Structure 1
Amino acid sequence: MQTTKIGNKAEEQACRFLKFQGLQILFQNFKALPYGEIDIIALDKNILIFVEVKYRKKTNFAKAEEVLTFSKQQKLINTANIFLQQNLEFENYQCRFDLIAINEEDINWIKDAFTV
């Protein structure tokens, strides 16, 4: 299966999981060039959550939650700042960066995966 299709499938799986947990999905695949993309932007009451989804089929090497690099974190922060500038209705919301790590069928939701 193509990498894009696998990624989309993992993101859909993550959205279903987050909805089941009671979160409202606001956006998927929010892009802000040149920084990058945020896979999912969700709302949990008054907390705006920027979610990175990582999928690994085999965990012989690194698990999904082990591959969120500092560089990727910086891109997510910059993209989140662009989102907030473009969506002023969220300017007073508390923000959080989460990671949904999917290893095979195991979903690991890491809240506050990193802080700004």
Structure 2
Amino acid sequence: MSTQHKGKYAEQKACEYLSSQGFKIVEQNFFAKKIGEIDIIALKNEVYHFIEVKSAPEYEIAINNITSSKLSKIKRSADYYLQTKKLDVSFCIDAIIIVDEELEFLENITL
């Protein structure tokens, strides 16, 4: 399975999980020009969740792929999204880590 295919599979799994938890998927693979990409944008209880999906053979590898520069890009991309959609809403940045068939949802990772 190619890396791109694995990523799409992980994002699909993440969307299924989020939907089962009452989230509405607003957008996938939102690309902010010259800044970065947000894997999933979801909405629950009037809070926008900007979600980075990481999958790897081991948890440590996946979690360590969320670097401070990656978080900074996600934050800037989220700001760009909210500006372009003219939204003044509560939001947070989350991560979903997938290792094999295990999924872990980490909310508000930018404390």
* TM-score bracket for the superposition, by shorter chain length: over 0.9
Q: Is the 1:51–1:100 Cα contact (8 Å) retained in structure 2?
A: yes
Aligned to 1:37: 37
Q: TM-score, normalised by structure 2?
A: 0.95
Alpha-carbon deviations, 1:3-57, whole Å to 9, x = none? 111100100000000000000000000001211100000001111100000001x
The one-letter code of the counterpart of 1:4 is Q
Q: TM-score, normalised by structure 1?
A: 0.91
Q: Is the 1:100–1:110 Cα contact (8 Å) retained in structure 2?
A: yes
What percentage of residue pairs aligned between the two structures are identical?
Answer: 35
The whole-number CA distance in structure 2 between the counterparts of 1:105 and 1:44 is 24
1:64-75 equivalences in 2 (<5 Å): 64-75=62-73
The whole-number CA distance in structure 2 between the counterparts of 1:53 and 1:6 is 11
User: Offset of 1:65 from its aligned partner?
Assistant: 2.3
User: Offset of 1:62 from its aligned partner?
Assistant: 2.7
Gaps of 5+ in 2: none
1:63-102 equivalences in 2 (<5 Å): 63-88=61-86, 90-91=87-88, 93-102=89-98
The one-letter code of the counterpart of 1:102 is I
Gaps of 5+ in 1: none
Task: Give the length in aligned residue pairs.
Answer: 111
